[in-house]
Amino acid sequence: MRLKFFVAIVALIASLFSVYLSAQTTSGVISGTVTGPAGPLSGITINVVNSSGLVLGRTPASSSGSFAVSGLPDGTFTVQAINAAGSTVGTATTSISSTVTSTTVTVYATAGVLAGQAAAAGGAVAAGGGSLSSGLVLAGVSVAAAGAGVALAVASQHDASASR
pLDDT digits (tens, 9 = 90+) for 109-127: 888 777 776 666 665 444 4
Average pLDDT of the chain is: 73
d(CA 81, CA 17): 37
This model's pTM is above 0.85: no
* Domain locations along the chain: 26-109, 113-156
What is the rounded radius of gyration, in angstroms, for the C-alpha atoms of the chain?
26
Q: Given this model, what pLDDT does residue 128 score?
A: 42
Q: Would you say residue 146 has pLDDT above 60?
A: no
Q: Given this model, what pLDDT does residue 24 score?
A: 55
- Beta-carbon count within 10 A of 40 CB: 15
Q: Would you say residue 107 has pLDDT above 50?
A: yes
Measured in residues, the chain has a length of: 164
Contact in structure between 56 and 49 (CB atoms under 8 Å): yes
Contact in structure between 78 and 92 (CB atoms under 8 Å): yes
Contact in structure between 74 and 23 (CB atoms under 8 Å): yes
| Beta partners for residue 132, in sequence order | 125, 145
pLDDT digits (tens, 9 = 90+) for 9-53: 655 454 544 444 445 556 899 999 999 999 999 899 999 999 999
- Beta-carbon count within 10 A of 82 CB: 19
Helix, strand, or coil here: 7?
helix
Fold that domain 26-109 belongs to in CATH: Immunoglobulin-like (2.60.40)
